[in-house]
Amino acid sequence: MQGLALGGAVAGLGLWPRSSWALKGPGNPNVLAGTDFDLVIGETPMNFTGRTRAAITVNGSLLPWTTRRGVKIYHLRPEPVRHQIAPGLDIEAWGYNGVSPGPLLEAVVGDRVRIYVTNRLPEPTSIHWHGILLPFGMDGVAGLTQVAIAPGKTYRYEFTFDRAGTFMYHPHSDEMTQIALGMMGMIVVHPRGGETRRVRDYALMTHEMKIPIGARRPDPLAMNDFNVLTFNGKAFPATAPLVAQIGDLVRIRLANLGPMDHHPIHIHGHTFELAATDGGPVPASARHPETTVLVPVGTTRTIEFVATAPGDWPLHCHMTHHAMNQMGHDAANLIGTDTRGLDAKLSHVVPGTMTMGRDGMSEMSHMQMTQPANSISMLGGQGPHGLIDMGGMFTLVKIRDRLTGDADPGWYKPTADVASEATADELARDGITL
């Protein structure tokens, strides 16, 4: 795989102080301090782990490029793809270059790029470069700025990335169908020069689909009742964790090209600042601490925080139905009812009937029900203390005092300060009567 350092001329010169990156907290001035500096040379602004790319799309991939006479050449292929949302749910999606969402298109500000698009779909398409300031004729709106790309045809887009930031690409031709089936991708344009501290730079594309239980094809006609919610095409527990070391600046580039829903993305254990949108950077005077950021449809939101607390901290959409897997939404509400009589009567018709939801829905995850074919109804994940009955747009940010590389470090197991059952002595001591 080709990375930034190989893709163009050596243009950046980065310095970061190895011993000082813990000194800066959110809201503090960005001051270089410390005595132990590493010299980083190359276009990769944060190439501290030796990897040759700069932003990490967990569960995703990077679009490769070559360079011809100073122009970066990319090739995107809109096409049908087989995709696994989580073990148990394989779908027939549409995407780019074999994956959904499409691979990350990464560049450096000032790059001249030429992007070839070969349409392998059964219908016309186009690509709009969302948030990129470019000549009108390169904007990718079928019928308005160009002729739609017919099946089998290859079109050429060419422009210059003239500002850094987090952007997106998607069809502007039958987008209701094409986006619903998974056609979208992220663009990260890095500033020239290096970071002044250690950075963990992540890109996460949110998406929602309606996939009826047992079906393989997302329903492009759906306007509500989306039941498959994803980060970079994966639903928890298939979402790979983000990792960071204490003191790292964590940058998470969130994007939303879903059909209908905005996602309030929430983090545990830390506060962050909104650093940029697809419109540009947020000025220092407007930055303030938050724990949830709304990512509306058609936007990117880049958040930053310094990793200060070790743990496996959840990062998830706070819409409760968006952090669950493939629920049916048209069942009767039976919470608090005594359904034993109902079960007995129904058992005459359907032997072994057991009505769900009498004491809440969590039981459905815990029962490890036999799933209908190709479905992940109420699928949860195994945690260090039992079942985590979350799903969908839910992942973990694993923060450790020390990390080697960026592989999943396993579960965080603190030795103290863990919630546990209160003892009789503790209850008596504090005057709690049961």
Tell me which residues touch Cu ion (CB under 5 A): 263, 317, 319, 322
Q: What is the rounded radius of gyration, in angstroms, for the C-alpha atoms of the chain?
A: 24
- What minimum distance in Å lies between the beta carbon of 297 and Cu ion? 11
Decide whether 149 or 379 has the Cβ nearer to Cu ion: 379
Decide whether 40 or 238 has the Cβ nearer to Cu ion: 238
- What minimum distance in Å lies between the beta carbon of 264 and Cu ion? 7
Residue 323 neighbours by CB under 8 Å, 6+ apart: 229, 236, 316, 317, 390, 391, 392, 393, 394
Decide whether 47 or 300 has the Cβ nearer to Cu ion: 300
Residue 330 neighbours by CB under 8 Å, 6+ apart: none
Query: How many Å apart are CA 123 and CA 257, to the nearest integer?
Result: 20
- What minimum distance in Å lies between the beta carbon of 326 and Cu ion? 15
- What minimum distance in Å lies between the beta carbon of 190 and Cu ion? 28
Query: How many Å apart are CA 182 and CA 253, to the nearest integer?
Result: 19
Burial classification of residue 280, based on how many CB atoms lie within 10 Å of its CB (0-12 exposed, 13-18 middle, 19 or more buried): exposed
Decide whether 145 or 291 has the Cβ nearer to Cu ion: 291
- What minimum distance in Å lies between the beta carbon of 254 and Cu ion? 11
Decide whether 322 or 398 has the Cβ nearer to Cu ion: 322
Decide whether 96 or 231 has the Cβ nearer to Cu ion: 231
Instruction: Specify whether the CB–CB gap between 209 and 101 falls below 8 A.
Output: no
The structure tokens listed for 407 are 């592989």
- What minimum distance in Å lies between the beta carbon of 417 and Cu ion? 31
- What minimum distance in Å lies between the beta carbon of 394 and Cu ion? 10
The DSSP secondary structure of 335-373, one letter per residue, reads: TT---HHHHHHHHHHSTT---S-BTBSHHHHHTTPPPPT
Give the distance between the most distant pair of CA atoms in the chain: 79
Decide whether 180 or 317 has the Cβ nearer to Cu ion: 317
Beta bridge partners of 395: 315
* 3-state class (DSSP) for residue 285: helix
